[in-house]
């Protein structure tokens, strides 16, 4: 009986370093992949708001956003539609002493008259590692 316990103990000890080495290799591969993603993946900053659609002959969306947002993409209800910028003017609110950008977009006819649309503005595309460094320092 003691001989079986000794044999089991020695076989366990001989297997343990192999499993430990495999675990170290697996952790190294996972960390390398995470670092690769941090360096190569680019992401946008996001600004969410709502817009109002009016349709006469063409459908027009009107929304107000902060003036410092220089957007690259606009998603309407989480879908990317084609749009054309009709008006882009800065408006000053004298009561709160803040400025807004009134954005008027010509959109497709898939929207209904008097519809409220959720908007996502994507801007400031950077690598993830750059964004992390900006937040830290």
Is 27 found in the same domain as 83?
no
Is 104 a domain residue?
yes
Is 132 a domain residue?
no
Please write the tens of the pLDDT for every residue from 76-101.
888 888 888 898 899 888 888 889 99
Domain of 12 in residue numbering reads as 1-40
8-state DSSP, 136 = H
Arithmetic mean of pLDDT over the chain: 83
pTM attached to this predicted model: 0.64
Is 63 a domain residue?
yes
Q: How confident is the model at residue 129 (pLDDT cuts 50, 70, 90)?
A: confident
Please write the tens of the pLDDT for every residue from 10-62.
666 665 566 778 888 999 999 999 888 888 888 888 889 999 998 888 889 99
Structure tokens at 67: 């003036």
Is 36 found in the same domain as 14?
yes
Is 50 found in the same domain as 2?
no
Is 55 found in the same domain as 35?
no
Q: So what's the pLDDT on residue 55? A: 86
Distance CA(68)–CA(61), nearest Å, equals 20
Is 135 a domain residue?
no
Q: What is the CATH number of the domain that holds 64?
A: 2.40.30.170
Cβ atoms < 10 Å from Cβ of 104: 16
Is 136 a domain residue?
no
Q: Please, how many CA atoms are within 13 Å of residue 88, restricted to the half-sphere of its CB?
A: 10
Total number of domains constituting the chain: 2
Structure tokens at 101: 């950008």
Is 11 a domain residue?
yes
């Amino acid at each position: 009986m003691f001989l079986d316990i000794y044999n089991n103990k020695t076989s366990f000890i001989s297997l343990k370093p192999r499993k430990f080495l495999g675990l170290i290799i697996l952790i190294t591969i996972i960390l390398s992949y995470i670092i690769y993603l941090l360096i190569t993946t680019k992401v946008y900053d996001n600004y969410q708001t709502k817009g109002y659609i009016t349709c006469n002959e063409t459908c027009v969306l009107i929304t107000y956003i902060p003036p410092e947002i220089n957007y690259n993409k606009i998603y309407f209800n989480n879908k990317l539609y084609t749009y054309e910028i009709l008006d882009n003017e800065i408006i000053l609110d004298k009561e709160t002493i803040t400025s807004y950008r009134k954005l008027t977009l010509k959109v497709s006819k898939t929207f209904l008259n008097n519809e409220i649309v959720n908007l996502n503005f994507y801007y400031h595309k950077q690598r993830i590692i750059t964004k992390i460094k900006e937040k830290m320092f």
